[in-house]
Amino acid sequence: MTCLASMFDDGHLLEVFLLSNWNTRVVVLGVTALGVAGGVVGAFMLLRRRALLGDALSHATLPGIAMAFLLASTLGLSAKSHGVLLLGALVAGLLGVVTVQWLTRSARMSEDAALGIVLSTFFGAGAALLGLAQQETSASAAGLEAFIYGKTASMLMRDAALIGATSVITIGVCIACFKELRLVCFDPDYARGRGLRTTAYDFLLMALVMAIVVVGLQAVGLVLVIAILVIPAAAARFWTHSTGRMLLIAGAIGGAGGWIGTILSAIAPGLPAGAMVVLTLGGFFIVSLLFGRRQGLARRMLRHRRRALLMDRDHALRAIWECLEHTGEPDCLAGQIGFRWGWATLKTVDRLQRAGLLVVEPAAGEERIAFTEEGQREAAAVVRRHRLWEHYLMRRADFDEHHVDRGADELEHLLPTGLLEQLEKELDAETLAMLPSPHALRPDHAGGAHG
């Protein structure tokens, strides 16, 4: 509790949000820039289906870092120099990617196996070398572990500047080569046929990924750095069907994740920034998955629900209409209507009554149902559409009269109105207000087949 209290004490929170602390400002801006660039580059990486290669690449950097450290200390150089360590990471990452390519192309291994082998072997080698390094010079080697899980606290102005510069360059390249990268991701064979050097663009893409991974090592660590490439891009896909907008949204999500994650970790110093950034991105992903405009689950469920309601409404209207047509009465008892009287039906009738399509009056223990004027019109339209389809299916698709009711039912609710006009033309029924049912109406079953 004291920890929590101290967290919200003495304007610390305000200080963090306003970025008035120099160190916080450096870290937040650096990680935000990394997030934006990671989102943009990650979008292309995902579209080219290279996400796992990016993961293998990031894990493969570890032996390079450890090796660079060992070499530098043997040669008497400043072993903690970041330049040397990042160079080591770059070389090892490149070696990892080349090994994967070689295994899949020349040794004809499946890509997932090759990726698994390279990822684990390189990481294992890195862990072993790290152990060696720590044995020899325990004090200074401790900083190396920061590369595994990230340690923003050790981030300096020049680190943030490196991230910033890398972000600007990678985003610039993505914009400049947008149409070529998109073509290579979409249809590599065609691109090659048209004379585009797809291998060069694939290499360029891997170089961009590598750049993000290497500068991201310090911020989020090599285990989690893949997240800033994959998650924003995957989340963005739920919001748009356009490549350009996907890049834009992925960049925005990545940047927001970097910003919020680092601030969260600055508020509670016990929480590592890398983990907080990834968790924030995970949150964005879940929101996108559920509410995404294009493919979000919640939207899909909502649309499905709306469709189901529409179908219930059509079924109820048609059942009542056909019952009245059959009896010739102006109204009918609830029990006369063909469909099963379940909870859903009662609710539908209730809904239609509230919508002003039905009038329900209690009469001698049972309810009498009649159409309002508007309800009559709506129901006639629904029945007419259903029968048009029935006639069409019997004439053109060899449906017999026992199955045509259900066949038409599967079609009629979801189709656009333009199609209905074509249907009328096809059947010469443009002027017909109503058609006879092509099959015997069985009031006890009509409309009930679908529940």
| Least distance (Å) between residue 237 CB and another protein | 7
Coil, helix or strand at residue 367: strand
Paired strand residues for 332: 369
Q: Is the dihedral of CA 194, 107, 214, 231 positive or negative?
A: positive
* Nearest-angstrom CA–CA distance, 357 and 376: 7
Interface with another protein, residue 189, by CB under 8 A? yes
| Least distance (Å) between residue 49 CB and another protein | 8
Choose one: 70-78, 79-87, 179-187, 332-340; the region binding another protein (CB under 8 A).
179-187
Choose one: 122-130, 172-180, 422-430, 442-450; the region binding another protein (CB under 8 A).
172-180
| Least distance (Å) between residue 106 CB and another protein | 5
Sheet (strand 332-333) strand order: 332-333, 366-371, 358-363
| Least distance (Å) between residue 52 CB and another protein | 16
* Residue in 65, 185, 214, 234 binding another protein, rule: CB under 8 A: 185
| Dihedral, 441, 444, 449, 451 alpha carbons, nearest 10 | 140
* Nearest-angstrom CA–CA distance, 151 and 332: 75
280-316 as b/e, with b when 16 or more CB fall inside 10 Å? Answer: bbeebbeebbeebeeebeeeeeeeeeeeeeebbbbbb
Are 159 and 218 in contact by the 8 Å Cβ rule? The answer is: yes
Interface with another protein, residue 207, by CB under 8 A? no
Per-residue x/- track, 11-50, another protein (CB under 8 A): ------------------------------------x---
Choose one: 6-14, 182-190, 223-231, 259-267; the region binding another protein (CB under 8 A).
182-190
Interface with another protein, residue 107, by CB under 8 A? yes
Map tokens 């066949």 to a residue.
Answer: 407
| Least distance (Å) between residue 179 CB and another protein | 6
Paired strand residues for 371: 358
Interface with another protein, residue 306, by CB under 8 A? no
Choose one: 234-242, 306-314, 330-338, 422-430; the region binding another protein (CB under 8 A).
234-242
Nearer to another protein, 67 or 423 (CB): 423
Interface with another protein, residue 194, by CB under 8 A? yes
* Nearest-angstrom CA–CA distance, 215 and 213: 6
Nearer to another protein, 374 or 426 (CB): 426
* Phi, psi (rounded to 5 degrees) for 401: -70, -15
* Nearest-angstrom CA–CA distance, 317 and 311: 10
| Least distance (Å) between residue 312 CB and another protein | 27
Choose one: 186-194, 285-293, 366-374, 403-411; the region binding another protein (CB under 8 A).
186-194
Interface ranges with another protein (CB under 8 A): 47, 106-107, 176-180, 182-183, 185-187, 189-190, 192-196, 237, 240-243, 246
